[in-house]
Amino acid sequence: MAALVALGSLGLGFAAVPLYRIFCQTTGFGGTTQRADETVVVKPVAGRTMSVRFDSNVAPGMPWEFYPEHPTDTVEIGARDMAIFIAKNVSDKPVTGTAVFNVTPTQAGAYFTKIQCFCFTEQTLQPGEQMRMPVIYYVDPKILDDPDNKDTQQITLSYTFNPVEPK
């Protein structure tokens, strides 16, 4: 019986991370954004806008410059928009990175939806290479019906690039 409990605990330990990720993606918990494909149809809400601020960081030891082309944007709620981030490898060797992200206020994460993002895959930059990286997104009109977001006037989308260890 003890072996069965230990085996069950071990299995739960391995399942915890993917289950937590699914929970966060479904609920927007902790500022986790939503993800949609190109076919999603959302209708813009005329006259209703949201300010979106873009924040960028690199982890210690990551030899990149990384910044948004425009630090803020005002978007019509429900309309697709695109932000561009610029990354440059300032080292003398190829560097691969992956971006982690979140949204604040955290309760707005359930309504910030990305259609395309550089953060969905690893990015490799050659020495001195600079790359423009798009994010296509929208703010879901359902945010207007959420009492927890009634005072939300600005959403901050924040990225941190981390180095990927060579395999």
pLDDT in tens, 9-53: 444 444 433 333 344 444 444 445 665 666 667 888 999 999 999
Instruction: Supply the DSSP symbol for 62.
Output: -
Amino acid residing at 133: M
Given this model, what pLDDT does residue 37 score? 60
Across residues 86-111, what is the average pLDDT? 96
Given this model, what pLDDT does residue 153 score? 95
> Could you tell me the CA-to-CA distances from 59 to 41, 54, 63, 100, 153 in Å, in that order?
36, 17, 9, 10, 29
Cα–Cα nearest to 123, from 86, 91, 98: 98
- Going along the chain from its start, the domains and CATH numbers come out as 1-29 (no CATH), 33-163 (2.60.370.10)
Pairing of strands 112-117, 95-104: unpaired
Pairing of strands 112-117, 34-35: parallel
Given this model, what pLDDT does residue 26 score? 43
pLDDT in tens, 129-153: 999 999 999 999 999 999 999 999 9
Across residues 60-81, what is the average pLDDT? 96
What span, in angstroms and rounded, lies between the C-alpha atoms of 103 and 8?
34
